[in-house]
Amino acid sequence: MTFDTELVGKIGSMALIDKKDNVIDYTRVARLSRELRPGFIWISSGATEIGRLDFIARNGYELNGDTAKTDYSAQGQAILMQTYRQFVDPRYSLRQVLVEHQHFNDEVKSEHLKALLLRCKQQNAIPIVNYNDAVSNEENRRMEIMALARNHKRIYECVDNDETASRIACLLKARYLLIFTSVDGIYADPENPETRIPVITGKDAYELLENIEQDKQYCHGASRAGANGAKAKLEFVKDAAAQGTTVFIANAKYSIADVISGLAPSTKIGIDIA
């Protein structure tokens, strides 16, 4: 199979935050940033939480109401990009790409996004992708999704960046899709770290999808309130894995290289893989 890009990677909000001190985990961001290079598409959550922490630090109180997420996200995006720019190899350009659901539900917009992301490698640049919470109104978004659902068999919301990463991996036919989280993979018993499922595979796409469905039954809970958890991750990555992309779900404390090479623990998902 021919792949259009090497890797689509995603890191979650909680994996970016030092929970003890409620600040960005600069050591982790620095380590991961130094691994990024043209040919990688990096989906980074964290803007809203980083913006929240920065707002509290500067003002001494939290925002309330429906607009808090919008305001925090707008504040956090600048900090998030500044942090990546600080640590990414200075030989490479860095480009912020903010997406919403319509970029994956409209064929013309999808092709425009695909072309943009593919040009990044040609132009020595690394795209940092995030959902555009700063201009996304929840009520309006739901109405748009409902309207799309009347005319489409399947709708992509992409508010969860796991879904965004998976859709981009499908759009670009990525060789690897890496979902970084705060645990080492998918567990048969979420309370027992010894029950990590190292591999989910099948001889073809049909068998692989059946096995993913089987392992979804073990998934419960999420890393934070409002997150969709391991079950959603497995659901989101199904299309990418079925098209031939090798998927890894792993802990963000490990390096990209170690996860891909198998030196770090993970749950590896794909067709006919060891």
pLDDT in tens, 59-86: 999 999 889 999 999 999 999 999 999 9
Lowest mean per-residue pLDDT among 16-20, 57-61, 216-220, 237-241: 216-220
Quote the distance between the C-alpha of residue 244 and its chain's center: 18
pLDDT tens digits, 111-151: 999 999 999 999 999 999 998 888 766 655 566 556 556 66
The candidate with the shortest Cα–Cα distance to 249, out of 156, 166, 184, 152, is: 184
User: Taking the domains of the chain in order of start, what are their residue ranges?
Assistant: 5-271
User: In this prediction, what percent of the chain has a pLDDT beyond 70?
Assistant: 88
Q: What is the pLDDT of residue 227?
A: 44
**pLDDT on residue 62:** 96
- Alpha-carbon distance of 72 to 118, in angstroms, equals 30
Q: What is the pTM of this model?
A: 0.89
Enclosing H/E stretch for 141: helix 138-149
What pLDDT is attached to residue 141? 55
Can you say whether the dihedral through the CA atoms of 228, 230, 30, 81 is positive or negative?
Answer: negative
Nearest to 92 by CA among 113, 118, 61, 121: 121
Q: What contacts 24+ positions apart, CB below 8 Å, involve 153-158?
A: 155/101, 155/105, 156/101, 156/104, 156/105, 157/101, 158/99, 158/100, 158/101, 158/103, 158/104, 158/131
Q: Identity (one letter) of the amino acid at 17? A: I
Q: What is the mean pLDDT of the chain?
A: 89
Q: Would you state the pLDDT for residue 138? A: 62
Residue positions counted in the chain: 274
- Please provide the CATH number assigned to the domain covering 5-271: 3.40.1160.10
- Higher-confidence position of 41 and 143: 41
| Range from 5-19, 136-150, 210-224, 260-274 carrying the lowest mean pLDDT | 136-150
The lowest-confidence range among 21-30, 164-173, 219-228 is: 219-228
pLDDT computed for residue 184 by the predictor = 95
The whole-number pLDDT of residue 97 equals 96
Q: With CA atoms as reference, report the closest residue to 43 among 233, 265, 241.
A: 233
